[in-house]
Structure formats: structure tokens, C-alpha cells
Chain A
Amino acid sequence: MKIKNFIITFVSAIALLLSTSTISFAKVVGDKIVLGAAVSLTGKYSSNGVHTQNGYNIAVERINSMGGVKVDGKSYKFEIIYYDDESNSGRAAQLAERLIKQDGVQYMLGPYSSGLTKAMAPVTEKYQVPMVEANGASRSLFTKGYKYLFAVLAPANLYLDVAIDTAVEKNGGKPVRIAMAFEQDAFSQDVRLGIVEAAKRTGSKIIIDDKLPKELNDMAATLSKVKATKPDVLVVSGHTKGALTAIRQISEMKVDVPMLAMTHCDAAKLSKQHGKASEYALCASQWHKSLSYRDNYFGGGMEYAADFKKMFDYDPPYQSAESSAALLVFKDAFERANSFDTKKVRDALAATEMQTFYGNIKFAPGGQNISKPMVLFQVICNDDGSKCENKVVAPLKWASAELVHPIPKWSDR
């Protein structure tokens, strides 16, 4: 019995030794900088999780093939350890812990969605591991005082306030009447706050303010109210399900509004699924390939879109573009820090001020990117609705087409 106990103790001691010794390899192995990422490869976010992963991969490939990251006169290559977080926030937090403690990762890339980023941020913060994330826009991520969290995207409250400004402008500078329907989740409610602020700023009035239950896929009641009250703008945000439901029911119920602004059109493949019914919808987007930003790695948006399509065989949604930008930010920070010390890298990240093909990047103290505005595109279709395109219409600086306003009535379409 004693011998058995001794053997068990001995074996577990060795196992413990082995497991702790793996910690020492880590952040930088040979000429590789190892980044960790938990993305949703299965579960409900798996489509966007894959867009995120593809965005990371194309950037890693590009940076490595163009000489890698130069730190202290030596050239390093990026490598990413991926785990599948199963679209589950509990799992995402566990994986962050595992990446840091077991795999010894010292630099993290973000997961997909605000919810999962929210689950991982406390962990990376605890271990003081810098995380550059590209897919968590919820404002609450940036008000917690996190020091190691950096987001290359504009926060959720800025998604649609451009739409209100545009509506006011089209109304001759006079305040407008706003109807809005938002799903009850962190992201959509942040978008709502942005609209509430924009309404206050412009003196506009909110006449319908519906909060859609998460499980709901019927907006008929909200749309009936819109029909009865005739607002100037209708704003809808409820992820892909909300976008698809809204377009379906607006077209079926023949709801006429002068302006319809939404989120998640890209991710919902709105124009592909609804064709001409989705025409004239205004969509908030973090990025569009026609924008004129440039960098040395991808060139401009058009080149990025072409290279991405060659590699993955589909057009890049903005979720991929912003993910690619996260790696450009990391590369820049490593080179400016000229060190692998996490504190120095963190400080370099905080001081980032650069332009990428995806947009300008400069972080506020809260970690959000403050130098890249959102763009609005409008879905414009050809006559028979067989081909629809997204045309950037606001802000005016990047507009590639003129905004169609007001939206033609259903009886004339």
C-alpha cells in the first residue's frame, strides 16, 4: 500500500513538474511571437467566428511574408493558437485562462461578439495580458477601466447616430421624429443609447421606443405602430435575426418610412436573402472596401477585398477586416515597444496612432478606437432586383453614391 502511495505521489509530482515547465515556453518561441485567440468555430456565432479567424489568418500570412515583426534588430513571425469557444461566454473565459496559464500566451486577440469579449476581458486584465480585440463594440467594455484591452472598432453607441444626423440634415436641419426597435441585449441597447444621445443633441423626438425580447422573431406590432405614427426615421437593431425579420415584415406590411437604418445587414446577407425588398435600407458598418484608407501591408480596401476573396472565396465582411487590423496594430506596437515585455507592449498599444486599410486607429483611455467614424451604406438594387450593391452614402467624405431619401413608397416600388 505504501509503495502504491509512493508511486502515485511520485508520478503526480512529475506530472506537475512537466505541466509547470511548459509555462516557460510561451509568448516568444524561437523566431515566433505566439498570440492566443478563442473564437467561435461552433455554436450560434460560428459564421462570424470564422470571419474573425479568416481575418486574423490573412493578416498573419501577410505580415509574415512581408518580413514579419522587427524587434531589437531581429525579425519574428506571428503565430496564433486558436481554441473554439463554442459561442459560450463561460467557455471563452475558461479558454482565456487556459491560453494564459497553460499555453503561456502573453498577447491575446479578441473573440467574436461583445458578450464573449466581456467574459474574457477580466481574465486578461487579471494576468495583465494585452488583448487587442476587433469584435466587441459594447460600450460597457470601455467603461470598466480596463488597462489591457484595446478595440480597433468604434463603440456600439456610435453605430447609428450618423443616421440621425443625416435625417436631420435632410429635414432641413429641423429635428425629426424617431421610431426605434432594439433587441434586449448588451450590444443593441448600446446602439439605442447612441440614438437617444443623438436625439437629445439634435432636439429630435423619440415617438416609439420598443425593446424586442431576444426570442422574438415577430415585429408586426412594432411595425403597426410605425405605420400609425409615421415617423421620419425607423431604427432597428437586433443582430442578423432582427435585420432579416425587419426587412421581411416591413416589405410584407408595406410600411412606408422615409429612412430605415439598421445594423448587421452585412452579416445577415440582407440583400442576398431579401433581394429588392431590402433596397434603400441604410446599414451601419465599421468598414467598407471603397473607403480610401491605406497601409503598407494590404494597400487599400479594394486590394484587401480582392486578396481576401482569392484566399477564402467570399467577399470579406467588416468583421474580417477589423480582425485583420488587430494584427497590424499588434505588429506596430511590438516594433515601437522594441521589446516583448507585456507592460511595454501595453504602453505602446496605448500610444498607437496609425492608419490601416481598415481605418485610423487611436485608442481612448478606455480602450476604444476614437479616430475611426462609422460609415453608412445604402442597399441599392438594379431594376429586377437580381443584383444589389452596398453603396457608402455617409459620412459625405467617403460617399460613393448619393443617399436616396426619402425612400419611395411601396405603392410606387
Chain B
Amino acid sequence: MDFLIFQAPMLMVQASIDGILLGILFALIAYGMALQWGVMNIINIAQGELVIMGGYIAYFMYLSGIHPAFGVIVSPIIMYFVGVGMYKLVINKVVDRDLFISILATFGISILAQQLMNFAFGADVVVAQSNFGTTMLFDGMVTIPNAKIFSGLVCIIAAIILVIYMKKSKLGRAIRATAQNARAAKILGVDTEKVYASTFGINAALCGIAGACIAITFTLHPYTGLPYTVRSFMIVIIAGLGNLPAVAISGMGLGVFEEWADYLIGTEFRIAAVFSLLVIILVYRRFKLSRKREYLK
């Protein structure tokens, strides 16, 4: 049984594709987190809950007879306003305080959101059916659900649109200016309050897209947001802030690593493996930094 993956090489292809498609999804969520972390210096613990909320929007579209894939358009629009509302209600009061306060505040939002979703949507695990079918490769040896391909493409398109928007649009420039130096941006006439609100809204919209994808590829439950928060947090830590290609690569890399770890050391250790990798990367970084410091001396 050991190392089945080497006995059946097709499994390597399968594992890598599964990992990449999973990673793209996480990378999108992580990019939203990196964006608001970079701009507002807020670590959003409620990130996963925003994702699940977005998923429920797609699920309710599915229940009312609309194809849940349209959720990737509707959900971000609704979630944008949820994000802006959240900013106006809570986040604007903690945005220039220290990181700890904002973590506490978003942690509170996360608990509240879980309970509200549980209250409103019930505690059942739900799924939305896309009926997209399956792509078979290599004579049916490798199977990729089309729903996963669809969500991968959607995430890539969303990320590209966002990058262009950040580069070209006025708001995008204002967001980048605020991220570099909020005070200077304010002096130069940028309405930072508005920038913050839109950043939070954009993050929520990205979560909405990811959530709609999760509704058709995985399962939804009010209390399953935390893994998405933790995973995106990890991707951001590895990739650093404000670096989209790095976020995408580390997202996909972690996805592939996790799938391979499943085959090589066992399903029960796959999450442990990912976290061990995080520790190794952080230690290695510190080691590299300390060498640099010596050099500077």
C-alpha cells in the first residue's frame, strides 16, 4: 500500500491537478486577505465566514431554480455591500488601532456571522448541484469535475480583472497609494475613508466569488469558515503582502503539496504536513534574514 502514487503514475497527475484547482480557490481568498491586510493593516478572522456567506447566496439561487454558477456574478455584488456595511459598522472604529484590536473585532464578527448564518440558514450541511459533468483524461484514469475547472477559471478571471482594475482605475491607484502611505495619500486628497470601505468591500466580493465556487464544488455549513481563514492566512504569510503572483503560486503550491502529502504520509497527516511546511518556511526566512543582517554589519 505504501507509496501507491509511484505504482500508479496517473495518480501523480490526478493529485497535481486536484491540488492546483484547490489552490487557485484558496489563492483568491488569500488575495482578498492580503489586499485588506496591506491597505488597512487588518487581519480579517471573519474571512472564512464571508466565503461561506457568499456560498449561501449561490445556494439560495440554486434553491429558487437559478443555476448556481450565476452565483459567481450575483454573490460578489451582494457581498461587496455586506463588506462595506461591515466596514461602516465595525471596522472603521478599529482601522487605525493596533493589530490586536482588529483581530479581536473580526473574531467577534466571525462568531456573530456563524451564529446568524446558523439561525438564518439552519445547521444542515448543504450543496448546490451544477450538473456540469466530468472531464475524463487518459482513458478515464484521471477525472476532473467540470465544476472544479469552472471555479478555477472563474478565480483566475477574477484575479486578472482585479489586477487590471488596481493598475488602471482611479480607485485602484488610490488604494495602492493608501497602502503605501495613508497619511501622505490623505494629504494629497485621497479620501482614505472611502478607500478603506471599498477595499473591505472588494475583499468581501472576492470571498463571495470563492464562496459561490465552493457551493458547487464542496459543501456549505455555517461553521466551516475557519479552515478558509486559516488557509488564506497561511498563504499570505508565505507569499507576503501585495504580491499577487506569489499569492497564486503559494496557493497552488500548498494545494499540490497537500494532495501529495495525502498519498505519501497519509490522509490523517495532510493538514499537519501543510502546517509543518509553514513552520519550516518561517524558520528558513528568519535564518536568511539573520544572515542578511550580519552582512549589513
Contact = CB atoms under 8 A, between A and B. Distances in A.
Contacts of A351: none
Interface residues of B, number: 44
Q: Which 6 pairs from chain A and chain B are nearest by CB?
A: A252-B145, A221-B262, A211-B268, A210-B267, A46-B123, A215-B227
B268 A44 contact: no
Interface string B53-93: 00000000000000000000000000000000000000000
A232 B219 CA distance: 27
Interface of B: 1, 4, 7-8, 10-11, 14-15, 18, 22, 115, 118-119, 122-127, 129, 134, 136, 140-141, 143, 145, 147-148, 218-219, 221-224, 226-227, 259, 262-263, 266-268, 270-271
Nearest to A220: B18
Contacts of A207: 1
A213 B143 contact: no
B124 A269 contact: yes
Contacts of B118: 42-44, 46
Question: Which residue, A216, A239, A252, has most C-beta atoms of chain B within 10 A?
Answer: A252
B127 A273 contact: yes
Contact of A216 (B125, B134, B143, B271): B271
Contacts of B115: 42
Contacts of B259: 220-221
Contacts of A43: 118, 123
Nearest to A184: B268
Nearest to B122: A47
B267 A244 contact: no
A217 B218 contact: yes
Nearest to B228: A215
A248 B223 contact: no
Interface in A218-269: 218, 220-222, 224-225, 227-229, 239-241, 244-245, 248-249, 252-254, 268-269
A244 B15 contact: no
B276 to A, nearest CB: 14
Contact of B143 (A45, A212, A253): A253
A208 interface: yes
B122 A46 contact: yes
Contacts of B148: 252
B57 to A, nearest CB: 18
A46 to B, nearest CB: 4
20 contacts: A42-B115, A44-B123, A87-B123, A210-B267, A211-B266, A215-B224, A215-B227, A216-B271, A220-B259, A221-B267, A222-B262, A225-B11, A227-B141, A248-B127, A249-B145, A252-B147, A252-B148, A254-B143, A268-B124, A273-B127
B269 to A, nearest CB: 9
B18 A221 contact: yes
A252 B143 contact: yes
B143 A274 contact: no
Given A46-B118, A213-B268, A218-B22, A273 B126 contact: yes
A222 B5 CA distance: 12
Question: Which residue, B263, B267, B271, has most C-beta atoms of chain A within 10 A?
Answer: B267
A310 to B, nearest CB: 22
A181 B140 contact: no
Given A241-B125, A244-B125, A211 B140 contact: no
Contact of B11 (A217, A218, A228, A239): A228
A395 interface: no
Contacts of B126: 244, 273
Interface in A250-298: 252-254, 268-269, 273-275
Contacts of B145: 249, 252-253
Contacts of B224: 215, 217, 241
Contacts of A244: 125-127, 219
Nearest to A213: B271
A352 B143 CA distance: 53
A253 B134 contact: yes
B134 A240 contact: no
A239 B223 CA distance: 14
Contacts of B218: 217-218, 245, 248
